[in-house]
Amino acid sequence: MAISRDEVVHVARLARLELTDEELDRFAGQLDAILEAVGKVSELDLSEVEPTLHPLALSNVWAEDEPRPPLTVEEALANAPDREGDAFRVPAA
Amino acid sequence: MVDTLRLTAEEATGLIERREVSGAELHRAYLDAIAQRDPELHSYLCTVEQPDGAGVPIALKDVISTRGVETTAASKILAGYKPVFDATVAARVKDAGLPLLGKTNLDEFAMGSSTENSAYGPTRNPWDPSRVPGGSSGGSTAAVAAGLAPWALGSDTGGSIKQPAALCGVVGLRPTYGTVSRYGIVAFASSLDQVGPIAKTVRDCALLHRIIAGRDPVDSTTVDLPEPIELPEAEDLKGLRVGVPTELNEAEGIEPGVSEAAKRTIELARELGAEVGECSLPRSVEFGLPCYYLIAPSEASSNLARYDGVRYGYRAEPNGDVRSMYDRTRREGFGDEPKRRIMLGTYALSAGYYDAYYGQAQKVRTVIRDEHAAAFEDFDILVSPTSPTVAFELGARTANPLAMYAADLLTIPSNMAGLPGLSIPCGLSEGLPVGFQLIGRQFSENLLFRAGHALERALSFDYVPERYR
């Protein structure tokens, strides 16, 4: 088995997904099958191969440090689920 | 009356230039067609009544931010979200005078190959409504196939333009990574995502690609095009060296009817003057899918961390502290496929597993890139079927994620290598369209358009679905 139900619980916590027991049962089986399939990459000995991080060989793309008009406060808050004055409002920690 | 089923964007441009129809009349004709045929297909998530622009109207996949127009990525977690800025591609089509018809349906966050993962219900294939349009840009390809948009933009991570274009019998280009801006695109897997054109003809695709392509100062992964985009004219393939990778053309799971249509098209290329030869991508096809399903979910798990119910989109009713608000918002807001991929990616990136999974997948990516580079020493383009199958029935693969993932078997390898790919319709199998994939070197879009156009002319595929003729 590639991943246990306990590990799925742990991963769901890391990813901030509050899963139900039903979801955990379903995803545990599916993730196990998927990990089994993608684990195929470990069949290759690639110790001498460099990783590809990005399709294009770009480095140090600079931009001029020019001020541009930013979003207004009202624009930034336009989609807020909840606000208080000029701030996003959330439940207390 | 304008026949939106047949009209190409190029013809529509002519009608407007000759003042035979106004941009507003054309826009209205498409909205009428949408009112008539889209209740069955559900290719649009929303339409726009009176947009700016007097040119040929366009539909945009709903991962493209449009100022003031709801942009959901087909997710409940972005329900009601109205961007306060335009994506660069949305601004470019607007600047070119193309009025917006609406936003098209997709698999939630572009994660899927059938458009069934939309939180707002699936899109159906215009050739047979019991079947899927492919995905994730299935709304855009179904809209173009059904004459509900002359052209559209989609996005492609593992095959999300090429595969649905194939299943809907239209033309779609996945551009070279870095040629089209990702600014304002709802992010999925940033080292793979590319926006590209979908249309009825290769020339329309080239026209639209010319509008959207080029460096964008606010997307530092974009580059200047080495040459301007040209409209293809030539009707032969003289001198073109066409490689037929064995593994892409004889992979397990390719339907016989799909294989036959692709073989006929390869024979046609030879008749048009191409030099055709076999080649090999031994590990790209075998390891492409596992490589993709590590890299894409890993990047997705990071990109989707931003959806927390604080700044925009859906927020679960709070019944506790801020942490439980985050958790519940994400549980209620994301559908199953994003949840699966977030967890897969979180696991693959977590301590102790990073090297074995994500790190190893990045090395596989190098192997895939090198194999393609070797093939391009002998050939100018590589060809294969776009999808192993024609459009499948709704529900056929939803219970088995791995069966759904296999739909992208033939599009993923070149995507991992950052190469451009064009899918053109090349015939029918079981009465459904078959797509033919042309893969080129980085920045070889002009060559793909030239080859695709010549084949398209010789194939004379009728892109109007039989049930509408």
For B164-186, write each residue's pLDDT tens digit: 999 999 999 999 999 999 999 99
Candidate from B283, B334, B366 with C-beta closest to A51 = B366
Average pLDDT, chain B: 97
- In which element (H, E) is residue A44 found? none
How large is the greatest C-alpha to C-alpha distance in chain B, in angstroms? 70
Comparing CA positions, the residue from B196, B197, B195 lying closest to residue B182 is B195
* pLDDT score recorded for residue A27: 93
Contact B322 A90 (CB under 8 A): yes
State mean pLDDT over B387-400: 97
> pLDDT-based confidence at B359, cuts 50/70/90?
very high
Candidate from B80, B85, B330 with C-beta closest to A17 = B330
Using an 8 Å CB-CB cutoff, list chain B residues near A34.
293, 340, 344, 401-402
ipTM score: 0.95
Residue at token pair 């899109």: B123
Domain boundaries, chain B: 9-282+366-468
- Interval B1-32: pLDDT, tens: 799 999 999 999 999 999 999 999 999 999 99
* pLDDT score recorded for residue A59: 83
* pLDDT score recorded for residue A93: 83
DSSP assignment of B263-308: HHHHHHHHHTT-EEEEE--HHHHHHHHHHHHHHHHHHHHHHGGG-S
* pLDDT score recorded for residue B1: 75
* pLDDT score recorded for residue B188: 97
Work out the minimum CA distance from A1 to partner chain B, whole angstroms.
15
Using an 8 Å CB-CB cutoff, list chain B residues near A22.
none
- Interval B27-71: pLDDT, tens: 999 999 999 999 999 999 999 998 899 999 999 999 999 999 999
Q: Look up the CATH number of domain B9-282+366-468.
A: 3.90.1300.10
> Please, is B84 exposed, middle or buried when counting C-beta atoms within 10 Å of its C-beta (0-12, 13-18, 19+)?
middle
* pLDDT score recorded for residue B338: 98
- Interval B96-133: pLDDT, tens: 999 999 999 999 999 999 999 999 999 999 999 999 99
Using an 8 Å CB-CB cutoff, list chain B residues near A76.
84, 311
- Interval B448-467: pLDDT, tens: 999 999 999 999 999 999 99
* Residue B191 appears among annotated catalytic residues: no
* pLDDT score recorded for residue A57: 82
* pLDDT score recorded for residue B349: 94
Residue at token pair 């995905």: B135
Q: Look up the CATH number of domain A1-43.
A: 1.10.20.60
Q: Enumerate the H helices of A15-54 as residue ranges.
A: 21-38
**A37–chain B Cβ distance below 8 A for any pair:** yes
State mean pLDDT over B202-225: 96
Residue B318 has pLDDT above 80, yes or no: no
* pLDDT score recorded for residue A61: 87
Q: Looking at chain A, which residue has its C-alpha nearest residue B349?
A: A11
> pLDDT-based confidence at B161, cuts 50/70/90?
very high
* pLDDT score recorded for residue B128: 98
Domain boundaries, chain A: 1-43
Least confident of B88-92, B399-403, B456-460: B399-403
State mean pLDDT over B329-354: 95
Number of DSSP helices (H) and strands (E) in chain A, helices first = 3, 2
* pLDDT score recorded for residue A54: 87
Residue A1 has pLDDT above 80, yes or no: no
Q: Looking at chain A, which residue has its C-alpha nearest residue B84?
A: A75
Contact B402 A37 (CB under 8 A): yes
Work out the minimum CA distance from B417 to partner chain A, whole angstroms.
6
For residue B280, is the peptide bond before it cis, meaning its omega torsion is within 30 degrees of 0?
no
Query: Among residues of chain B, what percentage have pLDDT more than 70?
Result: 100
* pLDDT score recorded for residue B438: 98
* pLDDT score recorded for residue A16: 96
Distance in angstroms (rounded) separating the CA atoms of residues B322 and B461: 56
Burial A14-53 (b: 16+ CB within 10 A, else e): ebbbbbeeebeeebbebbbebbebbeebeebebeebeebe
Residue B272 has pLDDT above 80, yes or no: yes
B369 to each of B132, B179, B361, B400, how far by Cα in Å? Answer: 31, 18, 12, 29
Residue at token pair 């090395």: B363
